[in-house]
Amino acid sequence: METATVAEQTNSASTPTSSMASPEMKAQILSAINKVRPALQADGGDMELVEVTEDGVVMVRLHGACGGCPMSTMTLTYGIERFLRQQVPGVTQLVPVE
């Protein structure tokens, strides 16, 4: 995963507009995730930010109880993705990865 992050940073560094927006967007996403994290942790789970693509796709990894929860798709789509879209302009989708 660190290699993808380095590659992402390298790609965004080659285009000036992306290099400025990408770190700011990622910081905004991390801030928003930290706001919902206590609710996930209260149910025995957690979420890790894996990657943010240039087109606004946010990839996350679920941990603990969230990883095996049958309601995790609903929570991600109707809860966390909705919240991220409200908090961070440019977020288009939230995708769980393993």
Evaluate whether residue 33 is within a structural domain.
Answer: yes
Domain of residue 47, CATH code? 3.30.300.130
Statement: residue 53 has pLDDT above 70: yes
> Is residue 85 situated within a structural domain?
yes
How confident is the model over 7-37, as pLDDT tens digits?
333 333 333 333 334 799 999 999 999 999 9
Average pLDDT, rounded, for the chain: 81
**Distances, alpha carbon 36 to alpha carbons 44, 53, 98, in Å:** 13, 21, 20
Domain that holds residue 59: 22-96
Is 40 contained in some domain? yes
| 91 phi and psi angles, rounded to 5 deg | -75, 125
Which residues lie across from 95 on neighbouring strands? Answer: 59
Structural domains counted in the chain: 1
10 lies in some domain: no
| pTM across the whole model | 0.74
| Amino acid (1-letter code) at residue 54 | E
* Mean pLDDT, range 78-82, rounded to an integer: 94
Q: How confident is the model at residue 2 (pLDDT cuts 50, 70, 90)?
A: very low
